Structure 1
Amino acid sequence: MAAPITLSCENQTAPLTEKSLDKNDINSWLQVLEDGRIRIYTGKLELGQGISTAVKQVAAEELDTSLDMIEVNMAETGVTPDEGFTAGSMSIESSAMSIRQAAASAREAILKLAAQKWRIPVSELFLKDGRVRGKDKEATLYELLKGRQIEGSLDSSVELKGKTVRKYVGQPLPRKDIEAMVRGEAVFVQDLRFPRMVHARVVHPPGYASRIVSMDEDAIQKLPGLLKIVRKGNFVGVIAEKEYGAIQLKRKVDSFIQWDTSPGLPDQSALKSHLKALPADVEVHEDRGNAEKVLKESTTQLTASFFKPYLMHAANGPSCAVAFFDNERLKVWSHCQGAYPLRRTLAKLMEMPEDSVNVKAVPGSGCFGHNGANDVAAEAALLAREFPGRHIRLQWMRDDENGWEPFGTAMMVDLRASLDDKGKIAAWNCDVWSDGHSNRPNENPNTLLPAHFLERDYGHPGIGYRGGAWRNAAPYYTIPNLKVRSHMFQGPLRVSSLRSLGTYTNILAVESLMDELAEQAQKDPIQFRIEHLRDARAIECIQKLQKHIADVTLGQNEGLGVAFSRYKNETVYCAMAAKVYVDRGTGKVRVKKLWAVVEAGETINPDGLKNQTEGGMIQSASWALMEEVKFDRKHITSLDWGSYPMLRFPDTPEVEVEVIDRPDQPPVGAGEASMAPTTAAIVNAIYRSTGVRVRTLPVNRELLRA
């Protein structure tokens, strides 16, 4: 096993003087180093999407510099630009494109500076590997700048070599961080170590509604190895020299606490009816033609209801953070999705000036959205203030992670649709029931778990971001009469953003019903979809998929299903096919192979794009077949891998991905594009194998038994 990352206390805790970080300034995005290398600054965090590799590629392209001369500094308050959250598949669209523009602007600024200094026309100069050359003149960037940085603003009129030269952009550059992960090298926040660092654990309550009735603090103070017990209302934490000591203390302290364990959750067996009975805010999002009238008059109406359960992020490594408090300054190392939003929220929670809080984002082992990273960072910060001068490392246990992370919300979709006399869709009505899809911390402390247990009442964060609920609820197909409504409720479990948000459930519903309508119209399901599309890029994507599966042979109890979506109805195109085998004796489904054709505009790194697509396909298959958060009347019961199973290596399907590269189009992020159509293709394939329509996830084996 590789040694953990050991960092110098002196280097990591010194007060930080923040620089100007105007996003329009070149030097907010890059810095020329004395040894000739270029340091790139991005406000995004590497969450496995490959952004660190992609920004290297665009910077190296515009600066005509070898990749090993580019280093990337990611997401740190006061150091990198504030780019909000690393979310919504926006890293390429926003950060990488800003860095591309900054690098291209820097190239032109450097050439102009050299031209003025050497009195040589810009046309006779060129930049290569950190050196400006022309006739008999040559200098490194550092020499030319005399130790200063490149001044000036981003210039949108400069040539982008990534659109024409494409020496690095568009090439399948392998990610070095994946090799480090496979080798078990120190990569993640969980690997951080500091001199004199101590360890902590939090004694979480037994349930959402639990409160402390009594606590024997005298007995706790006598426990061997205890450096500090911290209690703030119903928040309790322990600090010890060694990690195992902290684990033991957590268990012992819990035995000295009497909790109120009153039921606070509904009966899960009646979850669907419970959620639909909750008070809901109803809003119409699409309303063209007269869907209700056409449906009422139709003789070929189809109806269907779909359900997706609560899902976990299920990070392989439980959430972890390191915090250091001294001289009224706080520094936190976290695998959060947004360094600046977390800083704003921590400052409010800790009642500290914002500029006294520094957040350094570090990769974490598993994310896929807003998991427990911010919560554990807040807990570590609270403990660090009570134990100043030493680094506090707090890592959750598996039951902490599974029991307290904010889940992806349960959703329900009711659809009605009809065909006209030519077999085309005449009307479509959609009703979506959902909780909010994001309560990320961005100033409000009530989005952080420990705020629920402190003395001060911060209140409930509420429904949060609603837009994710109806994302992709309106079909991308041409439908003359369409109505889409959302019913937003505040559900019983803690929820926030999980990969693809509401798109996953909405595309499951849309693409399942498209298959049913194609069958009703007695048309091939692929041709039926093409007939309802006007977008040539969408049609090409589907047609390329059709070629991949044209010669697929099916055995007994096997089925082939297809699905399509354009993420958010405006970014990535993804056509999907699935081949499944259903054991008619046990009802077990095996996904044998998945095919995807993905088009994300200009491709920066086709290898990285395939990585993201393949990962989404496999995760989606796991959601479809196995994953569901279970709970009783008090709390979550899916507290380990036995009670929250997921797809294992032996059951992982073969995957095949084709990337359509369009250099003439803007690049868009594709990290979430494959999630929804994968599950839709799988359930359509199950129907082809069994004749059974799956409308409730995860797939019920009893439903599929012969």
Structure 2
Amino acid sequence: MSVHDKIDKIDDINGIDEGRRRFMMSGALVVSFSLFPGAKALAQQVIADEGAAVHIAKATEKLAGSLKTNPYLDAWIKIDPAGKVTVYTGKVELGTGVRTALLQVAAEELSMAPSLITFLTADTGASPDEGLTAGSHTIADSGSALLNAAAQVRGLLVDAAAKHFGVSGSALSAHDAIIKAPDGRSMTYGEAVGLVDLHRMATPESPLKDPATFSVIGTSLPRVDIPGKVTGGPSYVQDMVMPDMLHARVVLPPVYGAQLLRTNTPDVLKMPGVVDVIRDGSMLAVVAKGEWQAVQAQRALAAGSQWSAGHALPDPATVHRDLKQISTEHIEIANTHGPAGAPLKTLSATYTKRYMLHGSIGPSCSVAQFKDGHMTVWTHSQGVYPLRDALAEMLALPKENVRCVHVEGSGCYGHNGADDVAAHAALIARDMAGRPVRVQWMREQEHTWDHYTPAMVTQVKASLDAGGGIVDWDYALWSSSHNERIVNAGRLIPAQLLEKPFTPAPSVPMVQPEGGGDRNAIPLYTFPNLRVMNHFSPTMPLHTSAMRSLGAHMNVFTIESFMDELSAAAGADPVAFRLRHLHDPRARDVIRLAAEKFGWPRAPRKANHGVGFAFGKYKNLMAYVAIAVEVSVVRETGQVTLEHAEVAVDSGQIVNPDGIRNQIEGGVIQSASWTLYEALKFDTQRIRSFDWSSYPILRFSAVPRSLNVHLLDRPGAPFLGAAEASMGPTAGALGNALFDATGQRLRDMPLAGDGLRRRIDA
């Protein structure tokens, strides 16, 4: 189904007029709903999706995945009398291919070709509320829900047909929305749905197919979102065009805490195409008929505005020392004691990571329209429901009068400016009642007002016994939550700038086993004595929030670097040393597979080349990843190239092999960029990383020469999220390979560039 066919289907459901239908972009509008058991049934609270708290009722706690919180079957699957099948998810496409994979899951259990299904994603007007699309939860939670919901719907339809035909359900077959009996009689899903009510709660047991019979799950179905992207078709919220649409640009403060003192509004209003200049406290924007007119007016408005001094930023030279002072909560997340041999040798080390930005290719964008007291916002937010609630609070509107519709954005990687620009669009649209308003941040705004990934410090100390085994492990980290997602209006940047500003909700640590800054701080290795401390900071000097893998990138880097240091002290091969301390058979399988494919241990390397190995199980809950890499180093410049990588992955039952490979490959490349080169530039006055020259990311010339991903399929096993699983292991393998190439044990990220060159020269 093409993008425009999807738009037609969406518009038929929502009653959108022909004029608007021709202009709306992206198939992301949804019709569905979810009803919950009564409040008295609420029994427990769980943490999922990067810290979004959800309540689960006793009546639903045994259901699969997101069925726990959206238990009604028709919240997921609707069938009309004509036999058209529409499947819904509350998750969103962020470029990871989940829209395709989730479609495959539903198609498999509905016994339908994917092309026959209309598949729609998150919209607060109707879709299941699945919170955030984050933390590699989509396939694990929404995929599990759809697998079971689709199986149960198919089972109900077949049972209804069997009763109608007077035969056993086992005698019937279902294929492409048609149920057939051995005697030739048939019934469409549309006819069968007239005999059964799908508005019923799911059950804990589902008539799931034997994985050996799967024909859609486990195949590399081409991604449904790719054709438009590679042909220049409308694919992103940045592409949206609507009738009578206005364009707006905002002026943001030059530094945190700066107050708007004066503007040159009268001069800007005289510029061609300018419709209005909107100011509320320090929230400042210009609205124009055309986009380039809005850009020109924004530049003039920014140049003519005066601001107070604002807050000083931290000294970048003391960031890691300062972290130990502002980390005021000390949380023990693991402490085990057992018999162990006498320690013979003790090692310790400290590692650091700087602030980094998301670096989304497309600056954040949103379209909003305020009409008849209702606000509709088209957004690339990762969580349309949390955003809807925050916008309603900011606008003083009932929640039912605010609708957030997901449309894919060009670039995400975590909590970037998507929610903030949506708030800008809503505030401006309120003053432009009736007309759609498109707002896009400028590149320098996307960089300088990003929610950066927090800086971190980690320290580890461990001892070896006479046999070379680890007998104790003492680990500590200093950082923040890594998750300042939108839980109230005060976490929206524009809401903080208003004349009557909203106050951000306080920062709280995310609990294990998900974790935030302490994600993956508890190693999967087995040690007789283990202690892990999270020194949590409820405040940070820069705006920070979630970036892919949160603290796992740094924690796995630390653990895997130190495992190599310990293996060297024990005189052991790094792979054999890891296997010695791992009891999980699936972990051992991926380590052995990566080592085998790489040819570990390698023969002696040529000059300035090195090899490294690392392992991790994302959040100790999701996919297993082991990776072996070879790097080359230009000693005169500190340039590092990841020449070759072999990666082994176990993500349970594989839905789309090519999709998993895409995500692992992308994670390896992005983690290489973070680990080797990325660091936010700032001084005590300003953020200085405002473009791609002041914040370099890995270039095409430096991507791996060879990168192979090997998948271990586990038919029938639970889905395990893989999208963020390679970030940490890649960092650890790179650090270990650089030591092999240079003899320098690098513990401060980024590892390459001038810092490496100086270490080599010294």
TM-score w.r.t. the length of structure 1 is 0.95
2:267 — aligned with what?
219
Could you say which residue in structure 2 is the equivalent of 1:451? 495
Q: Hey, what's the Cα distance between the residues in 2 that align with 1:534 and 1:110?
A: 45
Match of 1:309 in 2: 354
Is 1:85 the equivalent of 2:132?
yes
Residue 184 (str. 1) matches residue 232 (str. 2): yes
CA apart distance, 1:205: 0.8
Cα distance 1:538–1:148, how it changes in 2: closer, same or farther (>3 A)?
A: closer
Partner in structure 1 of residue 202 of structure 2: 154
Alignment deviations for residues 36-70 of structure 1 (CA, whole Å, 9 cap, x no partner): 33211000001122211111111111111111101
- What is the aligned partner in structure 2 of residue 209 from structure 1? 257
Higher mean C-alpha deviation, range 422-431 or range 167-176: 167-176
**Structure 1 residue 463 and structure 2 residue 507: aligned?**
yes
Structure 2 Cα separation of the partners of residues 136 and 16 of structure 1: 37
**Which amino acid is the alignment partner of residue 105 of structure 2?**
V
1:121 to 168, 185, 193: 168
Name which of 611, 625, 629 aligns with 1:574.
Answer: 625
- CA deviation profile, 1:402-452 (whole Å, cap 9, x unmatched): 11121111111011111011110111111100022111113x111111122
4+ residue segments displaced more than 6 Å: 2-9, 11-18
Cα 1:336–1:17, aligned 2, differ >3 Å: closer, same or farther? Answer: closer
Q: Aligned-pair distance for 1:20?
A: 4.8
Which residue of structure 1 aligns with residue 419 of structure 2?
374
Residues 1:141 and 2:189 aligned together: yes
Code of the aligned partner of 2:232:
G
Amino acid of the structure 2 residue aligned with 1:497: A
State the secondary structure of the residue aligned to 2:612: strand
Is residue 162–residue 169 contact of structure 1 (8 Å, CA) maintained in 2? no
Structure-2 residue corresponding to 1:340: 385
1:75 to 2:122 alignment: yes
The one-letter code of the counterpart of 2:241 is R
Change in 2 beyond 3 A, CA 1:90/1:689: same
Superposition deviation, residue 133 in structure 1: 1.4
Q: Does 1:357 align with 2:402?
A: yes
Distance 1:183 1:704, change over 3 A: farther
Moved more, 98-107 or 210-219: 210-219
Aligned equivalent of 1:131, options 167, 170, 178:
178
- The aligned amino acid for 2:744 is V
Q: Distance in 1 between matches of 2:731 and 2:210?
A: 35
Cα distance in 2 for residues equivalent to 1:431 and 1:232: 44
1:694 partnered with 2:742: no
- Give CA-to-partner distance per residue, 1:230-289, whole Å, 9 cap, x none: 111100011100000111111111222111124420111222222222252111111122
Among all aligned residue pairs of Structure 1 and Structure 2, give the percentage whose two residues are the same amino acid.
38
Kindly provide the amino acid, as one letter, of the partner of residue 620 in structure 2: N
1:279 to 1:25, Cα distance in 2 relative to 1, 3 A? closer
2: distance between equivalents of 1:440 and 1:372? 11
Q: Mark the CA change 1:222 to 1:670 in structure 2 (over 3 Å): closer, same or farther.
A: same
Residue 583 of structure 2 corresponds to 534
Deviation at 1:386? 0.6
Moved more, 10-19 or 359-368: 10-19
**Is residue 495 from structure 1 mapped to residue 495 from structure 2 by the alignment?**
no
User: 2:32 touches 2:74 (CA, 8 Å); kept in 1?
Assistant: no
Partner of 1:516: 565
Superposed CA deviations along residues 440-476 of structure 1, whole A, max 9, x for unmatched, are 113x111111122112232244334433111111211
- How many residues are treated as equivalent by the alignment? 701
Following superposition, the deviation at residue 525 of structure 1 comes to: 0.4
Cα distance, 1:704 vs structure 2: 4.5
1:145 Cα offset (Å) = 3.3
Q: For each residue in 1:475-511, what CA deviation from the matched residue of structure 2 results, as whole angstroms up to 9, or x when unmatched?
A: 1111111111111122111011100011110011100
Assess if the C-alpha contact under 8 Å between 2:489 and 2:504 holds in 1. no
Contact 2:3/2:228, CA 8 A, preserved across alignment: no
Cα offsets for 1:313-351 (capped at 9, x unmatched): 111111100000011100000000111111111111111
Q: Which residue of 2 aligns with 1:637?
A: 688
Q: Say which is worse superposed, 320-329 or 659-668, in terms of deviation.
A: 659-668
Structure 2 residue aligned with 1:475: 523
Paired AA for residue 738 in structure 2:
I
Q: Do 2:156 and 2:196's aligned partners in 1 also have CA atoms closer than 8 Å?
A: no
SS of 2:503's partner is: coil
Helix, strand or coil: the match of 2:129? coil
Match of 1:597 in 2: 648
Cα deviation, residue 587, structure 1 = 2.1
> Which of residues 253, 256, 259 is equivalent to 2:307?
259
Once residues 79 and 138 of structure 1 are traced to their aligned partners in structure 2, the CA distance between those partners, rounded to angstroms, is: 33
**Residue equivalent to 1:328:** 373
Q: Does residue 680 of structure 1 match 2:680?
A: no
RMSD: 2.4
Partner of 1:196: 244
User: CA–CA distance in 1 between the matches of 2:198 and 2:476?
Assistant: 54
Q: What do the CA deviations read for 1:117-167 (whole angstroms, capped 9, x no partner)?
A: 232322222211111211232232223335996343323323212634111
Q: Is the 8 Å Cα contact of residues 482 and 547 (structure 2) preserved in structure 1? A: yes
Aligned 8 A contact 1:220 1:256 in 2:
no
Name stretches of at least 5 consecutive residues in structure 1 with no aligned partner. Answer: none
Q: 1:227 is paired with a residue of what secondary structure? A: strand
- Shift in CA distance, 413/17, structure 1 to aligned 2, threshold 3 Å: closer
| Alignment of 1:10 onto 2:17 | yes
Q: SS state of the match for residue 477, structure 2?
A: strand
Is the counterpart of residue 705 in structure 1 residue 760 in structure 2? Answer: yes
Q: Secondary structure at the match of 1:470?
A: coil
